[in-house]
Amino acid sequence: MIVKENSNKDIYKGDLSTFLTQIKVDPSKGLTDDEVISKREIFGANVLKEKKKKSIFERIFDQFKDFMVIILIIASVVSGLLGEWIDSIVIIAIVIVNAILGIAQEGKAEKAIEALQKMSAPNAKVIRNNKLIIIPASEIVPGDVCILEAGDIVPADLRLIESSSLKAEEASLTGESVPVEKSHSIIINNDVSLGDRVNMCFMSTAITYGRGKGMVISTGHATEIGSIANRLQDIKEEPTPLQRNLNELGKWLGIICLIVCAVVFAHGVIMGGKIIDVFMTAVSLAVAAIPEGLPAVVTIVLALGMRRMADKHAIMKQLLAVETLGSVDVICSDKTGTLTQNEMTVTRAWANNSVYQLTGQGYGPKGEILDADGKTIGQIDIESPLYRLFHIGALCNDAKLVKGEGDMYSIIGDPTEAAMVVGSEKLGISSEEMSEVHPRTNDLPFDSERKMMTTFHEGIHEEGVTTSYTKGGPDVILSNCESIFTAKGIIPLTPELRATVLKNNHELASAALRVLAFAFKENSSEISFEAEKSMTFVGLMGMIDPERPEARDAIALCTKAGIRAVMITGDYKDTAVAIAKNLGLMKEGSGVMTGPELDQISDEELLKVVEITSVYARVSPDHKVRIVTALRQNGHIASMTGDGVNDAMALKRADIGVAMGITGTEVAKGTANMILTDDNFATIVAAVREGRIIYSNIRKFVGFLLSCNVGEILVIFITSILLGPKFSPLLPIQLLWLNLVTDSFPALALGREKGEKDIMDEKPRSSKESIINRPMIYSILVQSAAIFIAVFGAFQVGRYLYPDSGGEPSMHARTFAFVALICAELLRAFSCRSEHASVFKLGFFSNRYLTSASLLSVVLVLIVVYVPFLQPIFSTNALSISDWGVVVGFALIPFVVGELYKLIRRVLLKSKK
């Protein structure tokens, strides 16, 4: 083959005979098996080049980069060197479990994406060895001769060698929403843009009309789509807000931990304590200071959130991106298929000077015909203009309606023509049955110059007479008509009647409907373009891609949540604005911008425009990049939807890129953070709500862990300062067991909170806001102080009831402190279920996970307190009923303080409002 990989940039130039001479492949016979094998060895499989995946060792290493994890590993090593193997094993086990969870979840996300790619991988019809065969598109090689028909996905870049009324949907590549007419006979000699290379078809675009044959000139990453995909590899991924927050939290905790440990160690040595004992106390304090369960709990909570989102048709590719959704304050959405159903529907018809309404949505042929007064029309006279209108729509048509399982319907062909087929079915006119009774004898395909399509049928109105049916633009059809079909029969089309038609056409178009006109002509002469002259006008059909019913509610919820929804579409301005108004997306003062208008303004001007614009119409994928860049520069957390390869740049630039799972290209899916398996805007909003719940839950258990751990620090640090290092109320092994009991199970249970009812009433948080904000800091300080008071009080009462022995506190006293601290933290977990609402309002036991986790923790405490052979290991003694009364009484202090703190805060916030 002369044309080599990546040398095809000018292959669209020149005439067809020159191209075929260069290729040296017989279009009628195709390649031989030997040629296919040879070319596959040279060019490889016809698949897009994937980004190099990380090895298992790189993934494992990534899990141990976190500053907090590094400190835990150091603490584990130190404990092991000092002979505290139990301590060391417990810490390292937590780190390993966290790493395993992270690696496993990444693997699940990759498998989900691979599954989607396989689902959308098309087959291809090719000529090989002089035979037409169907093969997987991945097996296509340069030189293959492909057959293209309506409904096919183009398997590779190819030059057309035959074509008949061929149209291709190239929105995935060029952003153009209207199918492009293709022709093998067009000769191009100059450099033209991709969208103007009408003698070629490109990989992953869809054939919507006609048929053709093409010679493959590029496959895989050498195609136009592949070259764009390759450019995406250079875009650097930025850390999510949660990543930045957790990294910052880890650093501060590490610094504070080292400072406190150094002070405790120095104080202990100065006070005459044994260096080894003092050092172990400092190490145990480090374990208490660092919430070692935090990385594991965050990973598990994000993984659970990812699973819940998948159940709601949103597949998240990255764990941390799940939380980022919670801070989104602008959602930029496509119109077609996301805010609308992507199913053109005839909703209005005009015939015999009457307007009719068609009910029902989508491609399901169910609905009623209503007259101007809204009354249902029963049996329709087959001689009426309304029946004739839809009769023409059914026959002058190349689309097919396909019934699937249940009441599911799909189409083959152009969506506009499919809408006519469905509309005809609602009147009881079956296009298939009509085509059998009145077969098509010939046709004049639609072209951009005539703006009409005509089909010829025999014996419709009179035996032996050919009748032509024509549809097209109202102005064109009307200008070629000299009569009109009415209930009284065919009458002359007077200027007054023409004005009436134009008036009704304007009214339909003003309602953002796409309007087509229909006419017929009875011909006794041979078939020619004369059939499209001196026709009889019949009527108009108005159709629209209806909005999704759930989209309006989703946009209203966005408004309530302080999230601005923005429509970005390649459609026309009037249509976009009409849909936006119907959905409630346009607010007072909302602006509208078109692609050409965007081209006229600078990036600096765009920074102001994006703050007031709700609808962008006739935009290209490059415009999307500019819009999302401007939004981010203004400090917004922006979500962007897209399905095309060119959209991938905007998806990558957005904080959350959302790809369409049904209509999206592989590159868009591979670039996005989230994939919608139902292409539904409401799913994005549901995912944002889930993201808010996850972030709220993360805050809850971060606040819980830190208040408990700071409380533990105060218990050891202040007590050691006041009473000396020998009188530490808690031993290292007790601290480790305590952290296992309280830091893991209850914290994980807090991450399973369902979310508070008013979570979407709150405004989006700032991307710069720290996870530990001022209210949380105050709460942590109040709670940790209450925990210290409770444990120190229990410890002192224990010393009073069970006096010290040998210059150290009794095991009973330490058991008082140990059990009081665990009980206080478990009760604290219930109070942490909401940062502002009372736990009694939520329902004390409504979180069954927390109830179960608390019961398990209590059992673990009872085991080390009452099992005889464990008592020496954990330095505990059995407590009596009266002892439990003292311990529980002190343990209630932090819980009561926490509930009072929330009450005071609610009162203060209410007074400010």
Report the candidate in 705, 631, 885 with the shortest Cα–Cα distance to residue 288: 705
Measured from the Cβ of residue 484, the count of other Cβ atoms closer than 10 Å reads 25
Buried b or exposed e, range 756-784, using 16+ CB within 10 angstroms:
beebbeeebbebeeebbeeebeebbebbb
Residues 6+ apart with CB under 8 A from 589: 612
Q: Which residues contact 164 (CB under 8 A, 6 or more apart)?
A: 210, 211, 212, 445
CA distances from 912 to 706, 750, 838 (A): 29, 30, 20
DSSP 417-436: HHHHHHHHHHTT--HHHHHH
334 included as an active-site residue: yes
Task: Give Rg (Cα) of the chain.
Answer: 36
* Contact between 166 and 207 (Cβ < 8 Å): yes
Distance from C-alpha of 248 to C-alpha of 266, rounded to nearest angstrom:
27
Contact 171, 155 (CB under 8 A): no
Residues 6+ apart with CB under 8 A from 422: 345, 346, 363, 364, 365, 401, 409
Distance between CA 467 and CA 442 in Å, rounded? 11
**How far is CA 887 from its chain centroid?**
50
Whole-angstrom distance, CA of residue 377 vs CA of residue 605: 54
Q: Is-contact 677 661, C-beta < 8 A?
A: yes
Walk across the sheet containing 656-660 and list its strands. 314-316, 674-676, 656-660, 638-642, 330-333, 564-568, 613-617, 591-594
User: Which one of the listed residues 334, 414, 545, 743 is annotated catalytic?
Assistant: 334
Q: Where are the alpha helices (DSSP H) in 199-328?
A: 224-231, 241-270, 275-289, 294-311, 319-324
Residue 157 sits at φ, ψ, to 5 deg, of: -75, 130
Q: Give me the helix-helix angle, 681-723 and 811-831, nearest 10°.
A: 160
DSSP per-residue letters across 118-160: HHHPPEEEEEETTEEEEEEGGG--TT-EEEEETTPBP-SEEEE
Counting beta carbons within 10 angstroms of the beta carbon of residue 905, is it exposed (0 to 12), middle (13 to 18) or buried (19 or more)? middle
Cα 270 from chain centroid (whole Å): 59
In whole angstroms, give the CA distance from residue 743 to residue 701. 9
Structure letter (DSSP) for residue 396: S
Bridging pattern class, strands 489-492 and 674-676? unpaired
Phi, psi angles (nearest 5°) of residue 211:
-150, 165
Among the listed residues 252, 242, 283, the one whose alpha carbon sits nearest the alpha carbon of residue 265: 283
> Own/partner pairs for 427-436, CB < 8 Å, 24+ apart?
427/369, 427/380, 427/386, 427/387, 427/390, 428/380, 429/387, 429/390, 429/391, 429/394, 430/394, 431/394, 431/395, 431/397, 431/400, 431/401, 432/400, 434/391, 434/394, 434/395, 435/395
Question: What would the two tokens of residue 343 be?
Answer: 């199913």
Map tokens 């009214």 to a residue: 507
Query: What is the rounded distance in angstroms from the CA atom of residue 876 to the CA atom of residue 551?
Result: 60
Quote the CA–CA distance of 214 and 749 in Å, as a whole number.
60
Burial label for 373, CB within 10 Å (0-12, 13-18, 19+), is exposed
In sequence order, the 6+-apart residues with CB closer than 8 A to the CB of 460 are 438, 467
Place of tokens 């920074």: 607
Catalytic residues: 334
